[in-house]
Amino acid sequence: MPDSFDLGEPPQPAKAEAYRVLARKYRPQTFAELIGQDAMVTTLGNAIKRDRLAHAFLMTGVRGVGKTSTARLIAKALNCIGPDGQGGPTIDPCGVCEPCRAIAEGRHIDVIEMDAASHTGVDDVREIIDASRYAAVTARFKIYIVDEVHMLSKNAFNALLKTLEEPPAHVKFLFATTEVNKVPITVLSRCQRFDLRRIPAEKLAAHFAEVCGKEGVTAEPEALALIARAAEGSARDGLSILDQAIAHADLDGGHGVSGVTADAVRQMLGLSDRGAVRDLFAMLLAGDAAGSLASLRRQYDYGVDPVAVLRALLETVHGITLTKVGAAPDPAQPVEERTARIDWATGLSFPVLHRLWQLVLKGHDEVATAALPIEAAEMALLRVIHASQLPDPGELARRLAEGGAVQAVPATPAIAATPVAATAATAPEPAPSLVPETFEDLVARLEDSGSLALAARLYNGARVVRYAPPELMLSGSRPMTADTVAELTAALKLLTKQGWRIGFDDVPGTPTLKEQEDANAEAKRLAVWDSPMIRAAREAFPETVLEDWPGKRRLA
C-alpha cells in the first residue's frame, strides 16, 4: 500500500469577532469625542498646559455622561509619551503610544481601576495606601480610578483621608460617583471636583446620527430625536436604546438594516403617538368625553402605557405654556406639533393652562400607583373634561362673594376640537368695560390673569392716594422699585387695553388691602366677642378665649 499522506488539520473557518454593543464601541477615546463637557475639558487643558494638576479629581453626574471615560482620558493625558516616546502630559493624547494603548485596553500596570461597590472595606483601601508608596513601574504617574466612590464605608473613607491629602508626587486619584451627596465633605475638600452635565438632546441626536453613519444604518431624524429625549442626557443610555432600535428595525431583503423609523421607536419605547396625543388633547378641551375615552382606549390597545399618555399630555401643556411666554421652539419637534402649540397658546389663557397642568399632573400620579391603571386614566380624563365646563376660579370667587349662583358652563368656543377650529371660532362679545371699577377689583383681575407676584405686592404694600383709571396715584410712604412700576404698567396695559400713568405722592393714602381685611376681620372678631351669647359664656366660664378669627388674606 502506498504511504499515507498527512495533510494536517483541515482549514478552520475564521472565528467571527464578538459583537460589541454601541455603548462600548463608541466610548470616547479622546477629549474631542467627549460630547457636552466643554467647560471641563477647557479647565483640564489649561491645568495641564500650566502644570497645575491636582492630585485628586472627583467626577460627578448622572449615569452615562462620561465620568469613568473622563477618568480614563485623564489617565491617558497624564501618561502619554507621544508617538516618538518623548512627549509629556497633554490634553490631546496620541492614542498610539504604548501607555495610551494599554490604558485604552485596560491592561496598564500603573493604572488601577477599582469598583467601590464591590470593594467597600478598610482592607481594600489599605491595599491602595500600601501600594501608593511605591513608584510607578513604567508610567509617569501611578493612577487609581475608583468608580462609584460613594459606596466606600465610613471607615474606608477615614483610612484614605491622610493619603488623599498628602499623596506621593507620582500618585493621582480619580474618583467617579453618581451620588456626590454621599461622599464625606472631608473627601470632597481634598479633590478637584468636576460636575459633568446632562448632554443636551440636540447634541445626543447629532452624535447618534454620526454613529448610524459609521454603522451603515439610516435613521429618521425624528427617530433619533425620540431616542435622545428618552436618554435623558445620558450618552450610554441613548446608545443602548439606539442599539435596540437597530435590532428592532426591518431588514432589507436580508442585506442589512433599511432604517430606524420614528414609528418603530415609539412602538419600541411604548411612547404615545404625537398625533394621537394632539387629537386627544383637542377632544379634552372641547369637552368630548366619548371621543377622549375612545382615543385613550385605542392607544391602550396598541400597547401604550396609560402613564405614558398622561405624561405626553403633561408635556403638551408644558410646551403650550412655554410657547405662550415666548420660549424658543424645540428644533426636534415636527412642524405639526409646533403649529398646534402656537394655535393653542393663542387660544388658552394662563389660568386655564395652570389648571390643566394641575389636573393632568394629579391624574398622572394616580395612574402611576393605581391598581387599575386604564380605569384610573379614564377617570382622570373625565375630571379634566368636567373642569373645562366650570367657570374660571377667579370668576367663581367673585360670584360667591356677591352671593350669585354658580352654574356649569359649556366649553368656551375659543377652545375647540382642533387648533384650526380654535382660531376660526367666533370670539365672545367683549365686556362693556375692561377697566376695574375699584383698586381691589384691579388687584383681583391681576391675580386671575396669572400675575400672582405682582398682585401680592400690591395687596400687601400699596396705599392708594387716588384711583382714577387710567391714573393710579400711590403713597410714597411705601415706595416701589422701578422694575415693579414698569411691570405694573405693562400688566395694566395688557389687562385694560390702554396705557396707564402711575405716580407717587407724599401723603399717607388709604390702608393697604391687607390692612383693610385685617381690620375687618378684627371688627368681626370683636362683634362676636361682645355678642350676648358669647358674653354669657364668658361670665359662666371666665377663662373663655376666642380662637383666631380668619380673615380673607387671599394674597397674604
User: Which residues does 424 contact at the CB level (< 8 Å), separation at least 6?
Assistant: 416
Q: Tell whether the model's pLDDT for residue 313 goes beyond 90.
A: yes
Q: What pLDDT score was predicted for residue 316?
A: 92
C-beta separation of 323 from 346 below 8 A = no
Q: Tell whether the model's pLDDT for residue 556 goes beyond 80.
A: no
Q: Tell whether the model's pLDDT for residue 515 goes beyond 80.
A: yes
pTM given for the model: 0.59
Q: What pLDDT score was predicted for residue 368?
A: 92
CA distance 323 to 318: 9
Q: 520-539, pLDDT tens digit by residue?
A: 888 887 777 777 777 776 67
Q: What pLDDT score was predicted for residue 400?
A: 57
Q: 429-470, pLDDT tens digit by residue?
A: 444 458 888 999 889 888 888 888 888 888 888 889 889 888
CA distance 215 to 22: 9
Q: 255-288, pLDDT tens digit by residue?
A: 444 688 888 887 787 666 778 888 899 999 888 8
Q: 115-135, pLDDT tens digit by residue?
A: 898 888 899 899 889 988 888
Per-residue pLDDT band at 37 (split at 50, 70, 90): confident
Strands in 120-217 per DSSP E: 142-147, 171-177, 192-195
DSSP code, position 63? T
Q: Which residues, in sequence order, are bridge partners of residue 58?
A: 175, 193
Q: Which residues, in sequence order, are bridge partners of residue 501?
A: 471
- Using N-to-C axis directions, what is the helix angle for 452-461 and 513-529, rounded to 10°? 60
Residue 330 exposed, middle or buried by CB count within 10 Å (0-12, 13-18, 19+): middle
Taking residues 540-552, report their average pLDDT.
60
Domains and CATH numbers, the chain: 22-195 (3.40.50.300), 201-269 (1.10.8.60), 274-402 (1.20.272.10), 439-510 (no CATH)
Closest alpha carbon to 59 in 46, 68, 48, 72: 68
Taking residues 331-356, report their average pLDDT.
83
Q: What pLDDT score was predicted for residue 311?
A: 92
Q: Per mean pLDDT, which range of 33-47, 168-182, 536-550 is the poorest?
A: 536-550
Q: 492-504, pLDDT tens digit by residue?
A: 888 888 888 888 8
Q: What pLDDT score was predicted for residue 398?
A: 60
Residue 305 identity: D
Residue 216, CB-side half-sphere exposure with 13 Å CA sphere = 5
Q: Tell whether the model's pLDDT for residue 386 goes beyond 90.
A: no
C-beta separation of 340 from 419 below 8 A = yes
Share of the chain above pLDDT 70, in %: 82
Q: Per mean pLDDT, which range of 56-65, 93-102, 309-318, 409-418 is the poorest?
A: 409-418
C-beta separation of 70 from 197 below 8 A = no
Q: What pLDDT score was predicted for residue 397?
A: 59
Q: Tell whether the model's pLDDT for residue 12 goes beyond 90.
A: no
Q: What pLDDT score was predicted for residue 416?
A: 38
Per-residue pLDDT band at 155 (split at 50, 70, 90): very high
Q: What pLDDT score was predicted for residue 286?
A: 86
